[in-house]
Amino acid sequence: MKLGAFSISLSVQDLNASKEFYEKLGFAVFAGDMEKYYLIMKNGNALVGLFQGMFDNNILTFNPGWDENAQKLGQFDDVREIQKKLKSGGVEIINPTDEKGSGPGSFVVVDPDGNAILIDQHV
């Protein structure tokens, strides 16, 4: 199963303070908008999303169809294929994407320890 680019999406209390902290770790702003209260920070292949006031907990995020530079991959497993495979394996799907659709879509699964995993396809 090809899940695409991986990042962690952090729920932060102060976007500017978090931005400054991750810059000290060598991350630079890759995408996002301070006025919309989110930034995507990048250091090499590592991606950290900083989100102020958007969700309660941190989320592991995979982007089918994208590499770590948000460039479309030539071949990838569509979000609907991934959802179907997980569902058939007994994994509970939260907020499922329309299996009859195409293009962008997303869903969430939760690991045994309560960590949310967002499968979020943008292409």
pLDDT, tens only, 102-111: 999 999 999 9
- In order of 10, 24, 97, 113, the CA distances from 73 in angstroms are 25, 31, 20, 31
Which residues are paired to 120 by β-bridges? 106
- Would you state the pLDDT for residue 14? 98
Q: Which two tokens stand for residue 10?
A: 């952090």
CA distance 69 to 46: 10
Query: Could you tell me the pLDDT band of residue 117, with boundaries at 50, 70 and 90?
Result: very high
Q: Taking residues 93-114, report their average pLDDT.
A: 96
Claim: this prediction has a pTM higher than 0.85: yes
pLDDT, tens only, 44-88: 999 999 999 999 999 999 999 999 999 999 999 999 999 999 999
Q: Which domains does the chain have, with CATH numbers?
A: 1-61 (3.10.180.10)
Q: Taking residues 26-53, report their average pLDDT.
A: 97
- Would you state the pLDDT for residue 63? 97
| pLDDT over 70 percentage in the chain | 100
With contact defined as beta carbons under 8 Å apart, do 82 and 3 qualify?
yes
User: In whole angstroms, what separates CA 63 from the centre of its chain?
Assistant: 6
- Would you state the pLDDT for residue 15? 98
Count the helices and strands in the chain (H runs, E runs).
2, 7
